[in-house]
Amino acid sequence: MPPPFTPLYIDGEWRPSSTGATFDVRNPTSGNIVGTAAAATPEDCAAAVQAAARAFKTWEHSHLSVRRDILLKASDFLTAKGDEIRAALREETAGTDDWLWVNYEWSVDQMRDIASVTMRLRGETAPSIIPGGQAITQRRAIGPILSIVPWNAPMILCLRAVAVPIVCGNTVVLKTSEMSPRMQAILVEAFAKAGLPAGVLNCLSTSKEDAAARTTELIANPAIRKVNFTGSDVTGRLIAIEAAKYLKPCVLELGGKAPVVVLDDADIPRAARAITSSALLHSGQICMSTERVIVQRAVADVLLRHLQGLFSRIKAGDPHADPSAHIGAVFNQGSAENAINMIKDAVKDGAKVLVGDLTRQGAILQPHLVVDAKPGMRIWDRETFAPVVILAVADTVDEVIDLANASDYSLISAVWTKNVHKAFDVAARLRAGTSNINGPTVHVEPMRENGGLGGSTGYGLFMIDDWTQLRMIVLHPEQEPPYPVTAKL
């Protein structure tokens, strides 16, 4: 049986590339071909944007209840697609069942939460400065949006990139990851089955070789009004540069180097379990993954013993073929090699490896725990996106906070302490969009999407304010006032 084929979705129709071009999708662990996908051409990209522009003229004015009901129906469709989602996650991204809940159960719940956004699309009214007039503000859609999504959380990150703009009245051109086109096409199918009008959501897949050129063409298209991208800060900077050429705003959710601060009165066993979970879930390939641990000296040895014990018990491999494996492969062999080289560079500069052997088997990398890392080392300054944690020790609370903030990343953090007043003080001083008290770094609350504070984590959120524009309408009084210049005639 040939591997499944993922077509493009343009103007309400599933179709091949205009030239028939395709590319292979491979499993990160085995390297085997698990699917093929249509490779969009410049003509396909232009057709998708044109469809989004046409659809915006009517979708912008659609009733809020229509948008809400479509999202609710789409969530019901996803609920019935559990087996298909599980298979695509496993085959395209080597995702484990531990990661399925984020890309299935959580995605269904989040789509229902996003449907409720329609209740918050409100404006305001106030008396005009002119007696008898009224000033009215309205939250209005922006226009066609280009959404560029990653592979590592293929459903949940795709969902927010398209559902929030759509529920706010925008139309979307979705560019899938070349690693997970089938997974992301399932979400597009859910919207189509739910009755989303043709052109409101269009889906393009591109080969890795064509990705940069197609992305540049899409950003340059005058009909695209805003861009969102989730991925590495390296690519994010390139996208921001392209968008800046046309003065187009962006939402960029880029990398993370999440610090966990462990104070001397923390619940050490629980902190160690949370750190290990958030460091190794999905082999550390989450923007919220714990990458840095900064601990007060008084409890450093105790924490290290607990972390060593946990890290040593967790095995990387192919959990679907080997029941003793807990986590899967990383993105590709290059990603694994990059992480090993970062560790080796740190060791040359004085760091020590407590867990791990600095080897890989293809894209499979065992958990590594590194101590005596410090700012200036590449392993401190750059995201590893692998099952690797570095640990540093400091004496005072102020020193711990300074080390936690010694990073260009600013997405998420955590602090562990039994003193609630100290917890809130430290959390407020950590430079992170979200700070967790006595909890893991891999965590999201629906009241506010995780987002960075600039730098290598990017900026902007997937919330109403980011996907609407506040416009004003002024109703002037019925009785004509004296106008400057003409009043003297």
**CB-based contacts of 412, cutoff 8 Å, min separation 6:** 256, 258, 287, 288, 432, 433, 434, 435, 436, 441, 443, 450
Backbone angles phi, psi at 65, to 5 degrees: -65, -30
Q: Is 374 exposed, middle or buried (0-12, 13-18, 19+ CB in 10 A)?
A: middle
Annotated catalytic residue within 158, 168, 203, 287: 287
CA distance 37 to 234: 25
The whole-angstrom separation of Cα 440 and Cα 239 is 31
Q: How far apart are CA 396 and CA 298, in angstroms?
A: 10
Bridging pattern class, strands 364-365 and 360-361? antiparallel
Q: Is 253 a catalytic residue?
A: yes
Burial of 98 (0-12, 13-18, 19+ CB in 10 A): middle
Does 337 qualify as catalytic in the annotation? no
- Measured distance CA(117)–CA(464) in Å, rounded: 8
Report the distance separating Cα 146 and Cα 165, nearest Å. Answer: 10
CB 42 within 8 A of CB 217: yes
Is 326 within 8 Å of 280 (Cβ atoms)? yes
Name the 3-class secondary structure at 123: coil
HSE (CB half, 13 Å, CA atoms) of 132? 6
* 3-class secondary structure per residue, 32-45: CEEEEEECCCHHHH
Q: Report whether 379 contacts 345 (CB < 8 A).
A: yes
From the candidates 92, 253, 291, 449, give the one annotated as an active-site residue: 253
Catalytic residues, by residue number, are: 253, 287
